[in-house]
Amino acid sequence: AQKVTQAQTEISVVEKEDVTLDCVYETRDTTYYLFWYKQPPSGELVFLIRRNSFDEQNEISGRYSWNFQKSTSSFNFTITASQVVDSAVYFCALSGPMNRDDKIIFGKGTRLHILP
């Protein structure tokens, strides 16, 4: 069975600090996809990144970076020099291979507060 665990329910940091959001997943599939989404107060989920199971390269996009480690089944997300606008709920998600079951499973989310 697939499972996504975001152990951090809520995190508060002061602006300009770095913060890492943890995501641990479970799957029996050899091909799978991992995602991060941001949910600002408006409610609509915003796509941040997709990573497939064969690509273990870490990725950086501006102040955002992602660390994918298959050995520990983790896909952690780091915000560098955090800003107040980063305050939101962040979800990690997992999907199986596209040619079969199209279910996408989400973690419970981490609520991030960036304090001015």
Partner 1 sequence: DGGITQSPKYLFRKEGQNVTLSCEQNLNHDAMYWYRQDPGQGLRLIYYSQIVNDFQKGDIAEGYSVSREKKESFPLTVTSAQKNPTAFYLCASRGGWGHKIDRSTNEKLFFGSGTQLSVL
Range in contact with partner 1 (rule: CB under 8 A) among 12-20, 58-66, 74-82, 89-97:
89-97
Q: What is the 3-state secondary structure (H, E, C) of the chain?
A: CCEEECCCCEEEEECCCCEEECCEEECCCCCCEEEEEEECCCCCCEEEEEEECCCCCCEEECCEEEEEEHHHCEEEEEECCCCHHHCEEEEEEEECCCCCCCCEEECCCEEEEEEC
Output 33 or 64, the one with its CB closest to partner 1. 33
Residues 97-116 close enough to bind partner 1 by CB under 8 A: 98-100, 102-109
- Residue 17 vs 59, nearer CB to partner 1: 59
Question: Where on the chain is the footprint of partner 1 (CB under 8 A)?
Answer: 6, 9, 33, 35, 37, 42-45, 47, 50, 52, 91, 93, 95, 98-100, 102-109
